[in-house]
Amino acid sequence: MPSELENAMEMLIKVFHRYASKEGDSNSLCRRELKDLMENELSSFLKTQKDPAAVDRIMKDLDANGDGEVNFEEFVNFVVALSTACANNYQMKQRVK
């Protein structure tokens, strides 16, 4: 039986490929696929972003190899950065208690 962490990794892979397979290369996210993923899977994160160009900036930041798309490795870097920010926020809230 898979562990919680193994299930989380599998879910991350499945979510990436669910959106990546919508158009073009099924191994990368174009801007529209990334936007759809963020709107559906990270909606509370996007709500805190008041700037309508946020997705464009995120896309540019994530696209490390400059090919105009976000591959799985670039996507995982994004998830790690978000997870780290959430963990830091959680730790700060724990200290306040």
Q: Token digits for 49? A: 């972003």
**pLDDT tens by residue, 23-36:** 888 999 999 999 89
Domain-by-domain residue ranges, the chain? 4-96
**pLDDT tens by residue, 69-88:** 999 999 999 899 888 888 88
Q: What are phi and psi of 22, to 5 degrees?
A: -70, -35
Residue with tokens 């919680």: 4
Number of C-beta neighbours around residue 9 at 10 A: 13
Domain 4-96, second-level architecture: Orthogonal Bundle (1.10)
CA distance 90 to 97: 11
Q: What is the DSSP letter of 65?
A: T
Q: What is the pLDDT of residue 59?
A: 86
Reply yes or no on whether the pLDDT at 97 is more than 90. Answer: no
Reply yes or no on whether the pLDDT at 50 is more than 70. Answer: no
Global pTM value: 0.81
